[in-house]
Amino acid sequence: MSPREKQNMRRGLLFLTPWAIGFLVFIAYPLVYSIIISFTSYTGMNHAKFIGWDNYKSLFTDPLVGQSIGNTLFYAVLAVPIGLVVSVLLALAMNRNVKEVAWYRTALYVPSLVPVFAMSFIFVVLVNPQYGIVNKVIEAFGGGNVNYLAEPTSAKVVIVVMAQLGAGNAALIFLAGLNNIPQTLYEAARIDGANPWQSFTKITLPLLTPAILFNLITGISGGLQVFTQAYIMTGGGPDNGTLFYMYYLYKNAFSYAQLGFASAMAVALFLFGMLLALLVFWVTRRFVNYDASAA
């Protein structure tokens, strides 16, 4: 390399240094350390005792692990696809060519800025059986008063519904995808006699598949790590109905002082999430369209 190229290389490495330090300290080291102590019996106070694969074997024998996996999959299977549909609808609304579109975009995006812990407290009030507005509206239409957080399935459904208020982030990505679609494609479709639904299914949806794939992967990742809502709203109840995998991991680590077992749970979640992401990439590779001319 020439002296100038070497100087540019040094500058580039210098700018990469903060990220590299952050990656090593906050990602690589915790990951490696978690893998190591997952093979030990460790409370955080005593010396770690090597126990081999016992923690991983316990993942298959602990009934609460199975229940937490079922609760998490219930949430993810509902929240992720519903979130994609809601996000696309929000993006289409944000993309309307009207004078007030800036206000609409702000109003639709603002709910996603509310922290999850704050939104959890808000929803506890909204679904309260005594004074919550949800029950008041249902009673006004002749329905009964229900404590939705007192029944396992309805409590999970409430958390799924609450997750849709954060759809604004994904909607912005879909909005960027919509703006990248050439308008000439729609004009050609109109000339050929296509109606709005045909334009959406034949042009918009195929060219949004890269954004759909990205939001699907991030949605699955977030769905598998759901924690805050159950921690604040239900404490994992009722009857462990909202004991999600991450919440049970947290309880093992910080309530039961079983850091070795909690680390084994974390490693298993990491491997499962990685395999699931690879599976999604493999299944969707023939459907994702990066070429506008192929729409």
Mean pLDDT per 10-residue segment, the chain (295 residues): 88 92 93 94 90 95 96 96 94 86 86 90 91 87 85 94 91 92 90 90 91 93 94 93 96 94 95 93 85 57
Q: Which of 211, 226, 212, 206 is nearest to 273 (CA)?
A: 226
Whether 111 is in a domain gets the answer yes
Phi (first) and psi of residue 75, to 5 degrees: -65, -50
DSSP state letter for 181? S
Q: Are 38 and 266 contacting, i.e. CB atoms less than 8 angstroms apart?
A: yes
Instruction: Look up the domain containing 289 and give its range.
Output: 62-294
CATH number at residue 181: 1.10.3720.10
- H or E element in which residue 255 lies: none
Tell me how far apart the alpha carbons of residues 287 and 77 are, in angstroms, rounded to a whole number: 20
Q: How high is the pLDDT of residue 153?
A: 93
Q: How high is the pLDDT of residue 146?
A: 85
Whether 56 is in a domain gets the answer no
- H or E element in which residue 101 lies: helix 101-109
Whether 47 is in a domain gets the answer no
Q: How high is the pLDDT of residue 162?
A: 94
Q: How high is the pLDDT of residue 295?
A: 53
Q: How high is the pLDDT of residue 261?
A: 96
Q: How high is the pLDDT of residue 140?
A: 84
Tell me how far apart the alpha carbons of residues 249 and 258 are, in angstroms, rounded to a whole number: 9
Tell me how far apart the alpha carbons of residues 25 and 72 are, in angstroms, rounded to a whole number: 29
**Residue whose tokens read 């919509």:** 178
Tell me how far apart the alpha carbons of residues 116 and 112 are, in angstroms, rounded to a whole number: 9
Whether 274 is in a domain gets the answer yes
Pairing, β 49-50 against β 40-41: antiparallel
Whether 2 is in a domain gets the answer no
Whether 5 is in a domain gets the answer no
Q: How many domains does the chain have?
A: 1
Whether 108 is in a domain gets the answer yes
Whether 41 is in a domain gets the answer no
